[in-house]
Structure formats: C-alpha cells, structure tokens
Homo-oligomer: A and B are copies of this chain.
Amino acid sequence: MKLLEDKIRKDGKIGAGNVLKVDSFLNHQIDVGFLCELGKEFHRRFGDLGVNKILTIEASGIGIACITAQFFGCPVVFAKKTKTNNIYSDVYTGKVDSYTHGITYDIVVSKQFLNKGDRVLVIDDFLAKGSALKGLLKLIEDAGAEVVGAGIVIEKAYQEGGSLIRGMGVRVESLARISAMSVENGVEFIEEV
C-alpha cells in the first residue's frame, strides 16, 4: 500500500539493532485519520468474507483493530498479556515469545468472547517472527471459531513469520512488506503484485 510505504519512509526511524520505530503514527502516538485509510484497505481485502469479529492483542494492536472494526461493523476482542501462570478455566490461553523484550508471556481471552461459528479476522501492527500471530490463531482454534485471515500493518518479510503463518494455510495480508532495512539504505519494500 503506497500510502503506508510513503509514511514509513517519511516518518519511520531505524534505530539501534535495526529496529523500525513507527511510534509517531502507529504505536505510541496514533494518527487516527491515517489508520482510517488502513482500516478501509483491510476492509477492501477482507470485506466480503463474513467477518463478525476482529481479534487483536494488547496494547498496540487495539487502535488499528478498533478503527478497522468500524468498516466491518463488528466488535473487537483483544487478548490480554499476563505473566501469571494461573490458567483460569474461563479463558483460552496461548503463549507468545517477545523477542524485543526477551520474555515469554501468556495471552488470554475470555471464553465468552470467542465462540464456535465466529468468523475471525486477526489484526495486528507488526508481523516478524510470527509468535504473537501464532498465539492468537491458537486461541481461535481452541474456541472452535474460524480464522478468516490476518491483516497486518507492517510485515518484516525478511523474517520467517509470514512464511510460517501462510504455510499454515492462513491468508495473510500485509499492507507493507519490508524486504530489507538498514540505517544506511533506509527501508526497502517488496513491490505489490
């Protein structure tokens, strides 16, 4: 999506360790008008698939999920991160490795809010190694609900998450796919076909 690629080139910052910072518009400060354009694009790509629920993960997925849900006319459910090992009986649980923070945490969703028959679109800001997305897909599977697809804002396509999840048969649509980035050369994108 050219609009997003231009925004990343203009406002994204590449920091130490080749971390892409997009916190001026996506995950600290949120440019809500811009997110609207992303939400419209997700709806263009997934709008005819009978989505009745959007699932995301706290915290930075919530904004983009809520804005996107307006186009689908459906509710958002966000998985909560927890460090407790208590497994409650009334929640579905999964595990997510955070490479940024070097920890593994549990994610939970109340069983009330994911049900058999639900057609779920997963929305998240980033896809890199795919751990968060895999964790979310497990919650949906445990609930007996159906995964319609995954809508990702920025995919680091040089990492394995995208292939991993697509290899599971899930339709993944990433609005920007980064093929390489470095402080010297900036961000390079995979061209849309």
| Nearest B residue to A109, CB-CB | B28
| Nearest B residue to A76, CB-CB | B30
Copies in the complex: 2
Q: How far is the CA of A59 from the CA of B36 in the complex (A)?
A: 20
Check A182 for interface membership: any CB of B closer than 8 A: no
| Nearest B residue to A67, CB-CB | B66
Contact of A70 (CB < 8 Å), options: B23, B32, B73, B78: B32
Check A113 for interface membership: any CB of B closer than 8 A: yes
B36 touches A70 (CB 8 A): yes
Check A112 for interface membership: any CB of B closer than 8 A: yes
Interface size of A by CB at 8 A reads 31
Closest CB-CB distance, A140 to chain B, in whole Å?
14
Contact of A110 (CB < 8 Å), options: B28, B66, B73, B75: B28
Contact of A32 (CB < 8 Å), options: B25, B29, B35, B69: B69
Check A77 for interface membership: any CB of B closer than 8 A: yes
Closest CB-CB distance, A143 to chain B, in whole Å?
13
User: Chain B contacts of A78 at CB under 8 A?
Assistant: 28, 30, 59, 63
B67 touches A28 (CB 8 A): no
Closest CB-CB distance, A29 to chain B, in whole Å?
4
Check A33 for interface membership: any CB of B closer than 8 A: yes
Contact of A29 (CB < 8 Å), options: B31, B58, B59, B75: B75
Check A98 for interface membership: any CB of B closer than 8 A: no
User: Chain B contacts of A121 at CB under 8 A?
Assistant: none
Check A24 for interface membership: any CB of B closer than 8 A: yes
A28 touches B113 (CB 8 A): yes
User: Chain B contacts of A67 at CB under 8 A?
Assistant: 66-67, 70
Which residues of A pack against B, CB within 8 Å?
Answer: 23-25, 28-33, 35-36, 58-59, 62-63, 65-67, 69-70, 73-78, 80, 109-110, 112-113
